[in-house]
Amino acid sequence: MGNKLSCQKELVKKKETIFKNEVYRIPALFYNRDENILMAFAEKRTTEDDSSTEALVMKTGKVKMTPKVKKTPSPKVKKTPKVNKEEMEVTIEWSEQKTLIEKYPLGYRPMNPCPLYEKTNKTLFLFFIRVEGDCTEQWQIAHDTNKARLCYVKTTDNGQSWSDVTDLTGSLDEINHWATFAVGPGHGLQTESGRLIVPVHAYVSKSGSSPAPHAVSLYSDDKGETWHFGKMLKKKSLECQMAEFADDRGESVIYCNARTKGSYREEDVSHNKGEVFSKLSCCGHLVETGGGCQGSVVSFPDQDGIAGRETSQNQNKWLLFTHPSDKCKRSKLGVYVNKSPLNPSAWSAPCVINRGPSGYSDLAYIDEGWFACLMECGEENYTEQIAIEMFSYNEVKQAIAK
């Protein structure tokens, strides 16, 4: 796949609606591969406005993947049907919708779901922010006054029961110096070394200037008991996600892909587990949508010659990214692949998986080259529904190659 980002190909597959009939925004997704369960989260709102969020909601889906069986070409020839491991049939049995976190009676609405899994204790953290009353982000920035709080709940039984809310705001002094902040939205990351990382962006005033946004990591090295912030990205950067991949020497690299207010995405890497990031290139390669939009990124195993074999997380060497590929508006959700993540010019052209209005998205790597993408989409407006689409690397590769 070459760097022909202007060439768009389509991979049109059937999407399954997850949240609809009311206003739902801000999708977040987690896949428990031990039990083949997807967990989908979103904000439930009364209007499209950010200040109208009423609750965080969730659904769980049991994933079943079965290889397609090719029939023999002639009924006269009796042969055992061949199993093509590159072609799978995927079905998901979804639970009823559940309200997880509600708006407090006197305010503090929950926003920005960000799931993060701790593998040793098999605990899923769901980070989010609570924002006071109907206070907008714009008001907080204009008044340099933070009204957001950093919170999480956790579960050990795939969302059947959840802990009480833990509020970390008072234990992290940096938050006192921010105009406002948010987590994710979308999934967090546990590194191979065990570090938990929550993607964050915060508005910070410097030298008397108005608050400006910068992405930063929130991390824990003790399975979520204590948390610390890393160093902020130097360049202005907004909503972000992070992924871990192994470089040519097998060493861990944390990759950060962030929304900007410019024409291109911000791409940075860290060689010290996400504490300090440096910019990959002075030249932009991934196009930002007009006005900016959140995007999602995951790492996954090198797929050259391994189709049908199980691979472990420590073989993750490639990146997959989803984001609206239209330069002007939130439309044409594209999938991009990078086989050499330290080279930002190595991104493939976008493969469009939703040709209409497309907003925020969140990715989960399943297994054997398959992915799930939870996305905002619709016929007239991207806020009409949140749907999920399953696709494989091979399908993306073939679509781009056409």
Which amino acid type is present at position 85? Answer: K
| Residue from 24, 31, 50, 382 carrying the catalytic annotation | 50
Q: Is 360 a known active-site residue?
A: yes
Residues ≥6 apart with Cβ < 8 Å to 283: 344, 345
Distance (Å, whole) CA 25 – CA 77: 53
**Pick from 199, 152, 151, 204: nearest CA to 177:** 204
Mark whether 50 is an active-site residue. yes
* Alpha-carbon gap, residue 234 to 212, rounded angstroms: 11
Helix (H) / strand (E) element for 88: namely strand 82-94
Give dist(CA 72, CA 351) in Å, integer: 33
Name residues whose C-beta falls within 8 Å of residue 356's C-beta, 6 or more positions apart in sequence: 331, 332, 377, 378, 379
CB < 8 Å & 24+ apart, contacts of 65-70: 65/36, 65/89, 65/90, 65/366, 65/367, 65/368, 65/370
- 73, two tokens: 């070409």
Find, among 393, 259, 246, the residue nearest to 320 by Cα: 393
Tokens representing 216 are 């930063």
- C-alpha distances (whole Å) from 3 to each of 57, 268, 343 are 39, 19, 11
Q: Which among 43, 137, 239, 376 is annotated as catalytic?
A: 376
Q: Which amino acid is at 357?
A: P
Per the annotation, the verdict on 118 as an active-site residue is: no
- Spot the catalytic one: 360, 365, 382, 393: 360
Q: What's the length of the chain?
A: 402
Catalytic residues: 50, 360, 376
